[in-house]
Amino acid sequence: MNVIQQMGVDLYGFGASLITRTWMLQRVYNWQVICTATISGLPGYWISQYCQGIQFGDYAFDQVVKLRYGSKQRGYPGDQVIEPVTVSFLCPTDMSVYNYFKFWRNQVVDTNGYYVPKKTYAHDVFAILYDGNIETNRFRLKGCWPVNLPVQDLSFNEDIIRYTVMLNVDEIETGSTLATVFNIARTGKQILSGFTK
């Protein structure tokens, strides 16, 4: 029988300490995802506690253009592409995770079928890594919005319902609290809050 893992909530960016994590529940993993947007009254940081996995990668070259030089060839970069972020969540009984992404998805197109300005529905999502209570790396996934709604995948072989959501991402920035502290110590001023592109 599977046991539901207790999950933590970090209020990073919501007034919590920059170095320590504020736990509401105990988490055994040294990473977490923070959704920053409140959608239809559902706080993203509360929905984030149900996250069980995330997969993302930065821009990569879609293809390599090859040109011949006599008997040899040279490769040149083609277009750059970035794959959607894949996030998995546990499904609580109140359906808050499903409703969060449903309401978020509904912000992309209005009730008349017209697309709304991107600034209305695109939000940042953070993936934060820790060593103990110290933040070691922070990924800022910029311009996220749900590409699909969670799929209802029900099975008698599983006693826990999980949702998988794909999010569009425009850009990924990396940084950490430690990088910010080192920048302040080295230069005497804060540089981009530890973020680098």
| Range of lowest pLDDT (24-38, 67-81, 158-172) | 24-38
Average pLDDT, the chain: 77
**Residue 10 within a domain:** no
Residues of the chain with pLDDT > 90: what percent? 26
CATH code of the domain covering residue 81? 2.30.110
In a domain, 169, yes or no: yes
The H or E element spanning position 126 is strand 123-131
Residue 26 falls within a domain, yes or no?
A: no
Residue 77, classed as helix, strand or coil, is strand
**For the whole model, what pTM was predicted?**
0.70
Q: For residue 46, is it within any domain?
A: yes
The answer as to whether 157 is a domain residue is yes
Domain count, the chain: 1
Domain that holds residue 103: 31-194
Q: Would you say residue 155 lies in a domain? A: yes
What angle is formed at CA 83 by the lines to CA 41 and CA 42, rounded to 5 degrees?
Answer: 5
On whether residue 21 sits in a domain, the answer given is no
Give the residue among 62, 64, 65 at the shortest CA–CA distance from 80.
62
18 in any annotated domain: no
- pLDDT tens digits along 95-108: 889 999 999 999 99
Amino acid 171: pLDDT: 93
Q: Given this model, what pLDDT does residue 60 score? A: 85
